[in-house]
DNA sequence: TTGATTTGTTTATTTCCTGAACTTATTGTC
DNA sequence: GACAATAAGTTCAGGAAATAAACAAATCAA
């Protein structure tokens, strides 16, 4: 689709924001002459456009940026039923929205997508010509070609070639990805980790997901399982987990676990905020639960830091706030369990996200393939 | 030094072993025509040579392999005093050996190297022309250019530009690297993980080191600290560690810790083998220590697998055997603490290495820079 | 012996990049 | 306000590294 130099240019801009041709040339190790042509081609493709003019000494420089309406992508989340389906522009903004029924049959999913696609695009007629890909987020393991779902408990799949079925039915390039990894990609492309080469995103929700970017690339792992921190043993000989072993992070620190612990303690709490409120009123059980969960998550994050030395840990959460007891204990535990010399060296950011995370993440998978190409690992 | 295509060719051969021009072309995504020229140049450089002829249908193919005497590298280990200094050929074999005094002054180290270099090379006169680099392994953190030692407690350094000092005094390209990372590189280039893209090497000795290869490249981490598993909290509220916190893997599972625990129990054991022998005779204290240490190392390795899903874990050890109680418990703990579905999916290999590991690792750092170029992360 | 088959080389051509000269658009200075 | 200084971006001739296609070489099979 694009040459490797064109993709490199887009990659640099998506990491660093708008840049002039001269700066781009320098940072890509190319001559101004080469840059001139590459930029011209991308501009005439409609993907790039000139924005601000910067005045200094000499001829002013013209910043180049991705054209927000230069490319559109569809993102579908198979985590919910009905499945959200969004249209994203080149900035990751959602410009249209639909839902479709979720099925466990890949063929039916593909048909639903093909059927809903025109309706999604009615609001933005120009997007049809510039629709460069479909991304699908799901709970499960995905191969490195982002084509086959190797295994999904939720959907009951084993080696489901979903991407090629959808591609065939819609005629549009399609890529699938694990939910947590899709969120990490969207943060890298459109979010707060654009310029960070090495980071891990922890998605905190009913379950706990995690994905690593290493060397500027998503790292999927040898079986697609990199980042599966939910089932690391955090409380040896702790409570049994649905995975079969004991003391997994998931049994202590996920929202599901927190709610269950609250219920077991007889607390009428339906959200993290409820529980935080109880704790701040001095409820011992609430405090105990938040401490236990925060400590567990903090220890897991400390391990992440010790093992992988990322430049940032980003925790995305749909529900709740992270500035209460839970978040504080989590941070303290993370600091206390890394090499003291390291403590505080790795920023841990929390970020509240809306219900569109997964669909937006899915769309970013398609955008990533267009902008940068397939993920290498 | 070499073009990127030349480096890519050398990289492929070092990963896959001898290959024909046609196969090389296919696996590098180049035409046979291009390959013809690249191979010719490398052969006339003396780096590559034709080996076996494979007969089949059609014209026989001629395998190309690295010429063992095509390039030589010097490796120095600053982990011991006196510091070992070896000359390695292109296969990672040590062809000459010396020692030099270790100093805490980079200038003096550089002078010692410059002084000892001719003596190291007397045994192999041809190596001088083909000496393409010096590698130095040390205990500490190294920047991604492999030029500066950011921090070393053992040597008392902070931002020591050792590589450039040595380069200046010897006139030879010099690179430094952390000890565990150097061992991982030598395993990737010359050892048993050549064809594995994602793996972690755990070096088990007085201390415990670890380094990751991800996507075929050494991953150094954002502060050079990736792989520092020795100080991950493995026994919350465990024994105090010299690092300042408690329950680090290093306080339970390193040879240093094992020996100290044995001493504290009044056992006269000076090696792992001694302790294993005691345990096999039914000594309860010895069994307890080996269980505790094995469990701790196994849990840490399980975390490695859960977090990073590597294709292999390679444990290198100078001392002892890994087929006794310690190794068995370690393997059991590793299996028991990963997702049951994953159990057994990640090979855990142990490999006994000799006292040259660190110096050989150091030499491989120089070889890596010549063969493949600088490490990207 | 002849044809099939496959490896590896040669040659003309294409693609992508560079270097150097040039054009353009501005600021600063006399 | 003219003109130098400065820096951005373009143009164009030329070169490096790739390709495609034809060809030469070395074997097996009938």
For chain A, domain boundaries: 4-66, 72-187+357-371, 195-352
For the structural domain made of A4-66, what CATH number should be given? 1.10.10.10
Q: What is the pLDDT of residue A217?
A: 95
Tell me: cis bond preceding B279? Omega within 30 of 0 counts.
no
Architecture of domain A195-352: 2-Layer Sandwich (3.30)
Nearest residue to A172 via CA among A260, A65, A71: A71
A:330-349 residues touching chain B, CB 8 A cutoff: 336-342, 345-346
Distance from the Cα of B106 to chain A's closest Cα (Å) equals 24
Nucleotides of D under 7 A from a protein CB: 5-13, 17-22, 24-29
User: Nearest residue to nucleotide C10 when comparing alpha carbons to its C1'?
Assistant: B33
Among the partner-chain residues A220, A228, A340, the one whose CB lies closest to the CB of B243 is A340
Q: Enter the tokens of residue A169.
A: 């039915």
Signed CA dihedral, A20, A26, A32, A36: sign only: negative
Q: Enter the tokens of residue B147.
A: 């030029």
Q: Hey, of A221, A230, A292, A297, which one would you mutate to test binding to chain B, going by the most B CBs within 10 A of its CB?
A: A221
Domain B72-187+357-371 has CATH 3.30.420.40: yes
**Residue A230, CA distances (Å) to A210, A226, A256, A305 in order:** 8, 11, 12, 16
B6 close to B372: Cβ distance less than 8 angstroms: no
For the structural domain made of B194-352, what CATH number should be given? 3.30.420.40
Q: Summarize pLDDT for A126-169 with one digit per residue, the tens.
A: 888 899 999 999 999 999 999 999 999 999 999 999 999 999 99
Cα of first residue to Cα of last residue in chain B, in angstroms, is 21
Distance from the Cα of B369 to chain A's closest Cα (Å) equals 18
A:284-303 residues touching chain B, CB 8 A cutoff: 299, 302-303
Strand segments (E) across B164-269: 174-178, 199-204, 208-214, 217-219
A310 close to A200: Cβ distance less than 8 angstroms: yes
Pairwise CB contact (< 8 Å): B217 & A221: no
DSSP string covering A129-191? HTEEEEEEEESSEE-TTS--EEEETTTTEEEE-HHHHHHHHH-S-EEEEEHHHHHHHHHHHHS
**Å between CA of B60 and C1' of C19:** 45
Pairwise CB contact (< 8 Å): A229 & B302: no
Enumerate the β-bridge partners of residue B316: B203, B351
Q: Summarize pLDDT for B136-173 with one digit per residue, the tens.
A: 999 999 999 999 999 999 999 999 999 999 999 999 99
Nearest residue to B309 via CA among A214, A237, A95: A214
Residues of chain B with confidence (pLDDT) below 70: none
> Is A149 touching B (CB cutoff 8 A)?
no
Nearest nt (C1') from B22 Cα: C7
Q: What is the pLDDT of residue A272?
A: 94
- Angular region, B265: left φ>0, alpha ψ -120 to 50, beta rest: alpha
Same topology between domain B72-187+357-371 and domain B194-352: yes
Pairing of strands A312-317, A199-204: parallel
**Å between CA of A373 and C1' of C22:** 37
Q: What does DSSP assign to residue A340?
A: T
Chain A residues in contact with B302 by the CB 8 A cut-off are 232-233
Asked whether residue A58's C-beta has any atom of DNA/RNA strand C within 7 A, the reply is yes
Longest dimension (CA), chain B: 72
User: Nearest residue to nucleotide C11 when comparing alpha carbons to its C1'?
Assistant: B33
Q: What does DSSP assign to residue B248?
A: B
Q: Enter the tokens of residue A132.
A: 């460069």
User: Nearest residue to nucleotide D6 when comparing alpha carbons to its C1'?
Assistant: A58
User: Nearest residue to nucleotide C27 when comparing alpha carbons to its C1'?
Assistant: A57
What is the layout of strands, in order, in the sheet containing A312-317? A217-219, A208-214, A199-204, A312-317, A348-352
Residues of chain A with confidence (pLDDT) below 70: none
**Residue A39, CA distances (Å) to A12, A42, A60, A101 in order:** 13, 5, 17, 42
Q: What is the pLDDT of residue B320?
A: 82
Q: CA-CA distance, B83 to B98, in Å (whole number)?
A: 9
Q: What is the pLDDT of residue A138?
A: 97
Distance, C-alpha A269 to centroid of its chain: 28
Pairwise CB contact (< 8 Å): A308 & B219: yes
Q: CA-CA distance, B300 to A260, in Å (whole number)?
A: 28
Strand segments (E) across A226-329: 312-317
Chain B residues in contact with A217 by the CB 8 A cut-off are 215
A80-139 residues near strand D (Cβ < 7 Å): none
Q: CA-CA distance, B10 to B31, in Å (whole number)?
A: 17
> Is B140 touching A (CB cutoff 8 A)?
no
SS3 A69: coil
Q: CA-CA distance, A338 to A343, in Å (whole number)?
A: 6
Pairwise CB contact (< 8 Å): B219 & A215: yes
Asked whether residue B20's C-beta has any atom of DNA/RNA strand C within 7 A, the reply is yes
Distance from the Cα of B109 to chain A's closest Cα (Å) equals 27
SS3 A83: strand
Q: CA-CA distance, A358 to B303, in Å (whole number)?
A: 26
Q: What is the pLDDT of residue A19?
A: 97
């Amino acid at each position: 689709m694009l040459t490797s130099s064109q993709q490199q240019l887009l990659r640099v801009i998506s990491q660093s924001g708008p840049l002039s041709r001269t700066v781009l040339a320098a940072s890509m190790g190319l001559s101004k002459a080469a840059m001139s042509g590459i930029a011209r081609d991308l501009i005439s493709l409609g993907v790039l456009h000139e924005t601000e003019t910067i005045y200094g000494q000499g001829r002013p420089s013209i910043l180049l940026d991705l054209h927000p309406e230069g490319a559109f992508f569809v993102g579908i989340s198979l985590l919910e039923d009905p499945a959200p389906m969004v249209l994203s522009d080149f900035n990751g903004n959602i410009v249209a929205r639909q839902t479709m029924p979720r099925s466990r049959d890949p063929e039916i999913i593909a048909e639903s997508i093909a059927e809903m696609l025109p309706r999604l695009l009615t609001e933005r007629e120009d997007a049809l010509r510039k629709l460069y890909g479909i991304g699908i987020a799901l709970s499960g393991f995905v191969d490195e070609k982002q084509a086959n779902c190797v295994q999904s408990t939720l959907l009951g799949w084993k080696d489901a070639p979903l991407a090629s079925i959808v591609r065939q039915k819609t005629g549009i390039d399609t890529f699938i990805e694990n939910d947590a990894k899709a969120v990490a990609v969207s943060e890298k492309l459109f979010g707060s980790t654009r310029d960070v080469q090495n980071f891990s995103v922890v998605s905190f929700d009913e379950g706990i997901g995690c994905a690593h970017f290493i060397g500027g690339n998503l790292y999927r792992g040898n079986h697609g399982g990199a980042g599966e921190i939910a089932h690391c043993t955090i409380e040896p000989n702790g409570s049994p987990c649905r995975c079969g072993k004991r003391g997994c992070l998931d049994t202590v620190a996920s929202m599901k676990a927190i709610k269950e612990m609250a219920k077991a303690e007889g607390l009428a709490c339906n959200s993290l905020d409820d529980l935080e409120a109880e704790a701040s009123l001095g409820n011992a059980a609430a405090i105990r639960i938040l401490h236990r969960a925060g400590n567990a998550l903090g220890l897991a994050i400390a391990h992440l830091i010790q093992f992988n030395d990322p430049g940032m840990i980003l925790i995305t959460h749909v529900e709740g706030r992270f500035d209460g007891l839970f978040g504080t204990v989590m941070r303290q535990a993370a600091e206390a369990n890394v090499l003291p010399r390291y403590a505080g060296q790795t920023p841990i950011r929390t970020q509240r996200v809306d219900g569109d995370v997964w669909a937006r993440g899915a769309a970013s998978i398609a955008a990533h393939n267009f902008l940068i190409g397939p993920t290498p690992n």
